[in-house]
Structure 1
Amino acid sequence: MLLTELTQILFAQVATPNVVANKLEFSFWDILFHGGAFAKIVMATVLALGVFSVYIFFERFFYIRRMTTKTDENFMNYIEDFIRDGKIEAAADYCKTQNSPESRILEKGISRLGRPVSDIVSAMESQAQIEVANMEKNLNLLAVVPSIAPMLGLLGTVIGMIIAFFDLSHAEGAFSPKTLSEGIYTALGQTAVGLAVAIPANFFYNILLTRIDKFVLRTQNVSGEFLDLINKPL
């Protein structure tokens, strides 16, 4: 009888930790919003920055792609034919029908034909700067996210640690590791989310810059071809 009771007690002691362990499920979402009001405000702000960065990226990405895929492949051939035939107005009208960054840049150059080459180059460069500025619209806001998000996360971490140690210093009775550990993992969750938002935002920003740099190179090539065309002997 005594042996049976001891066996039941041992099985109960072994089974109890398993039950508790099975009930413990890691939920990152619960950790994010586990802190007080300040921690929740910081977390909501960081997540809002993440959503904002995704919106800016896709809005700019599709805009840049739309602007850089409008030009006809035979665009420069048509311009060359018009200019060689002396149809300057027809060349300008053709540029207007294309309604692309390259066509607007060449339109400025065509409108200055007959003037010194420096005036033509200046007009084309000014229009190119306008086109680049349109593509870079709101990119400065996207560039701010990788800087602000980790700082907000770090701020939430520091405040969370302060609150955790403050609660610990005023705790009465026996010390419980849970009092400190809850504050620590809540605080570290703030930094983790800040980095999780900043890293993709920085990646998005560099992707857009790369596409804009490619566009700038294209405009330089188009401008160079146009200058070679008007300076080429008939």
Structure 2
Amino acid sequence: MLLTELTQLVFAQAVTPAVTIKKTEFSFWEILFHGGPFAKIVMVTVLLLGVFSVYLFFERFFFIRRMASKTDSNFMNNIEDFIRNGKIEAAADYCKTQNSPESRILEKGISRLGRPVSDIVSAMESQAQVEVANMEKNLNLLAAVPSIAPMLGLLGTVIGMIIAFFDLSHSEDAFSPKTLSEGIYTALGQTAVGLAVAIPANFFYNLLLTRIDKFILRAQNISGEFLDIINKPL
């Protein structure tokens, strides 16, 4: 009897058709634009903010690097030689030919030679502020992206969750976990994209600030060297 039951069980397993499990591949691109018109508008806006932040970063990065690469390595030595030889106008003209932030700062100081040191320092500090302002142009827009992008993503998530539960509450069919989960992962995709845009934008912003801080330190050193030159006894 037992042998007969075992034989029937083996036979039943042998004739049972194999169940094919369909594996669904994760597609983030499908999640990005899987939603209503509002979700698509939010997603496109966040992506445009990402493109805008990349453009601002490279535009400012190459501008700052181009400005920093214009200064001659023997710049201060040449300035000292001109001043030692009493060629003040030649020193100013040399600064104009360099056309770099450092040379423009020193040009302001050279043009004030003969006046009190406080006037020279004030003139160079004012020009340094102008140069820093030029480097920081549109940097406030880049700083706004890490704040706006997550907020837009969070707004899309909240609206998406509201729509998902609203549709579920007004559905006359039986409860479907698929419908609810689809609405939830679509809504969470908004926040994920917002963070994906905000994190690189924040990194770009701080990287540019670091390069500007290096320029400020370099400008302070050059200004100090210039003051040492004009105060050094002949």
TM superposition score normalised by structure 1: 0.94
Deviating beyond 4 angstroms after TM superposition, the runs of 4 or more aligned structure 1 residues are: 2-9
The CA deviation at 1:173 is: 2.5
Structure 1: state its 5+ residue gaps. Answer: none
Q: What value does the CA root-mean-square deviation take over the aligned residues? A: 1.4
Give runs of aligned pairs for residues 1-234 of structure 1, distance below 5 A: 6-7=12-13, 10-12=16-18, 14-15=19-20, 18=21, 20-21=22-23, 24-234=24-234
Alpha-carbon distance in structure 2 between the residues aligned to 1:74 and 1:41:
55
AA aligned opposite 2:31: I
The residue number in structure 1 matching 2:5 is none
Match of 1:137, SS state, is coil
Contact 1:167 1:179 (8 Å CA) reproduced: no
Residues 67, 100 of structure 1: 8 Å contact kept: yes
Partner amino acid, structure 2, of 1:220: Q
Percent of paired sites with the same residue: 85
1:40-99 residue CA offsets vs partner (Å, 9 max, x unmatched) = 000000000000000000000000001011101100000000000000000000000000
Structure 2 CA distance for aligned equivalents of residues 174 and 82 of structure 1: 89
What SS class does the counterpart of residue 82 from structure 1 fall into? Answer: helix
Query: How far does residue 11 in structure 1 lie from its aligned partner after superposition?
Result: 2.2
| Structure 2 gaps, min length 5 | 1-7
Structure 1 counterpart of 2:17, which letter? F
Task: Find the aligned partners of 1:6 and 1:35 in 2 and give their Cα distance.
Answer: 46
Partners of 1:107 and 1:218 in 2: how far apart?
Answer: 16
Shift of 1:174: 1.3
